[in-house]
Copies of this chain bind each other. A is one copy, B any other.
Amino acid sequence: MPTIQCLNPDSMAKPLAAYSNIARVKASEYLFIAGQIGTDKNGKAPADFEAQCALVFEAIGAALASQGGGFANVVSFTSYLVHSQDIAKFAAYRAREFQRLFPGGAYPPNTLLIIDRLVAEAALIEIQTVAAV
């Protein structure tokens, strides 16, 4: 069993969204999960940003579950958005949904970046995940 501590030391600025500044991890096994985009099983991305978020976290959850884990095993998220206009929507989505995905309130570190484009032109968000199992 890994030991994962999500930490926000007082010496650092408080996170402005649902993430922690540090994950301290003691584990013998890691999962490196390819970046997941919000496409459905037919490869289509819904137009709605929140619908894409839901598909992204569903895919990450499926990856974790397939290895006997869950969101509590995540030690790092790196999130890529195509439009800065979606930054507030992404924060709102996590504020609402992470209470369910992370019931203990231990949110993993996240790095949020706004980039040109993702592999599929219609994709608005991609998240790369590292987990410890």
Contacts and interface: CB of A to CB of B under 8 A. Distances in A.
Interface of A: 7, 9, 11-13, 15-16, 19-26, 28-35, 39, 41, 43, 59, 62-63, 65-67, 75-76, 78, 80, 84, 87, 108-119, 121, 126, 128, 130, 133
Contact of A116 (B9, B28, B114): B114
A29 B26 contact: yes
Copies in the complex: 3
A115 to B, nearest CB: 5
Given A66-B11, A126-B113, A128-B111, A22 B34 contact: yes
4 tightest Cβ-Cβ pairs between the two chains A and B: A35-B111, A9-B66, A34-B109, A114-B117
Given A25-B31, A33-B22, A63-B22, A116 B12 contact: no
Residue of A35, A84, A87 ringed by the most chain B CB atoms within 10 A = A35
B109 A12 contact: no
A112 B35 contact: yes
A119 B118 CA distance: 18
A109 B130 CA distance: 11
14 contacts: A7-B67, A11-B66, A13-B41, A13-B43, A16-B119, A20-B34, A22-B31, A23-B32, A25-B30, A32-B130, A35-B110, A80-B113, A114-B118, A115-B115
